[in-house]
Amino acid sequence: MNHDAYDDNYIRAILTGVKSIAMVGASPVNVRPSYFAFKYLAQRGYDMIPVNPGHVGKSLLGKPFVASLSDIGRPIDMIDIFRNSSYIMPVVDEALKLSPLPKVIWMQLGARDDAAAEKAEAAGIKVVMNRCPKIEYGRLSSEISWMGVNSRTLSSKRAPIPTQGMRLSLNRTSVGGGETAASDRAAKNKSELP
C-alpha cells in the first residue's frame, strides 16, 4: 500500500468500522495533543482505552490507564500510536501477539515506520501512518469546516453545528483525496533538522 497518500474511502471505512481504540501514549495532561485527540474521539462515541505505563492508577476522562496492550483483556479494533517513530515497532510486535488481532494500527502525525507497517499488513492489519484520526474525522465529517478550515469536502448541505456527543456523518464526498501536503512537509522538515 502507498502510505504517502490515502484514499478518503480507505480512511472513512476505518473510522466508520472501528468501535474501540487503544491509544498508546495517551496523557492525562490536558494540554497534550494526545489528550485532545482522546477526548475528541471519546465524544464521538468511540470506546477509548488509554495505554501508558507511567499513568497506571490514574484515569483519563473516566477511563482507567493500562500499562500495555496485553493488559486490556478484550478485543481492540484499532491501536492509535501516539509515540515517536522509534517506539512503533515494539508496539506493533505487542499488537501482533493479541488475540484477536486489531483491525487497524494508526500512527499519529509525524510517526512513520515502514518496516512495522509492512509487518502489520502481512498479518492482515490495515495501517495508517502520519495522520491523526481526530483531524481525519473532522475533515471527512465536515465538522472541521465550522472552524474555518477548508476540508476539501463538498456537500449541498452544510454540516450541522456540532454539539457535545454528536457524531456527524463521515459519508460526505471529498475532492482532492486525503492528501495532507502541509503535514507531510512539516514532518519531512522536522526530520531534516540537525
| Of residues 162 and 24, more confidently modeled | 24
> 97 pLDDT exceeds 80?
yes
CA-to-CA distance for 37 and 180, rounded, in angstroms? 18
Q: Are 77 and 41 in contact (CB under 8 A)?
A: no
Domains annotated on the chain, with CATH: 8-186 (3.40.50.720)
Pairing assessment for the beta strands 153-154 and 173-174 based on DSSP bridges: antiparallel
For residue 100, the 8-state DSSP code is S
Average pLDDT, the chain: 83
Count of C-beta atoms within a 10 Å radius of residue 47: 15
Query: Which amino acid is located at 113 in the chain?
Result: D
| Of residues 47 and 147, more confidently modeled | 47
> 178 pLDDT exceeds 60?
no
Count of C-beta atoms within a 10 Å radius of residue 140: 26
Q: Which three cell numbers stand for residue 86?
A: 522509534
pTM for the whole thing?
0.77
